[in-house]
Amino acid sequence: MTGRDFFQLGLFLVVLLATAKPLGLFMQRVFGGEKTFLHSFFGRIENLIYRFCMINPSEDQEWTGYAGSVMAFSAIGCVLTYFILRFQSHLPLNPQHFADINPHLAFNTAVSFTTNTNWQFYGGESTMSYFLKWWA
């Protein structure tokens, strides 16, 4: 390691130690339900999201609701990834003009990305556009 590396490591440790206590106290207030200096701005956005999604913040979520939310989020992500793969030739960020991927490979890849199994059967640099690399 060079002198610059030691300096960078030391600077990182100083910044880490200097921010640990204030950040910990801030997180304690947030998770305790207390108001913070960011509440006036982000509280409005949070309330809009709650209203849009019909969420009552004072109610606890049951495990069945949470499981359903995770399944719905995963299903929507899988379907969107599938359509991105099937129609990548019509999407932006495709300067190499890669063709659309066949249905079987698109389904296999979408499910693989969704389940995080990383079981793909293609060469990413010669098959996928930048749009998919940005999405996944």
Contact 85, 132 (CB under 8 A): yes
> Which tokens go with 50?
């709650």
Contact 101, 86 (CB under 8 A): yes
pTM of this prediction?
0.62
Whether the predicted pLDDT of 117 surpasses 90 = no
Assess whether 33 and 9 both reside in one domain. Answer: yes
Give the per-residue pLDDT at 71.
96
Average pLDDT over residues 3-21: 96
Measure the CA–CA gap between 47 and 44, rounded to whole angstroms.
5
Assess whether 5 and 51 both reside in one domain. Answer: yes
Alpha-helix runs per DSSP H in the chain: 3-31, 39-52, 63-86, 103-115, 124-127, 130-135
Assess whether 73 and 30 both reside in one domain. Answer: no
Give the per-residue pLDDT at 75.
97
Assess whether 54 and 106 both reside in one domain. Answer: no
Assess whether 71 and 32 both reside in one domain. Answer: no
Assess whether 19 and 54 both reside in one domain. Answer: yes
Domain that holds residue 12: 1-59
Q: How many domains does the chain have?
A: 2
Amino acid at site 5: D
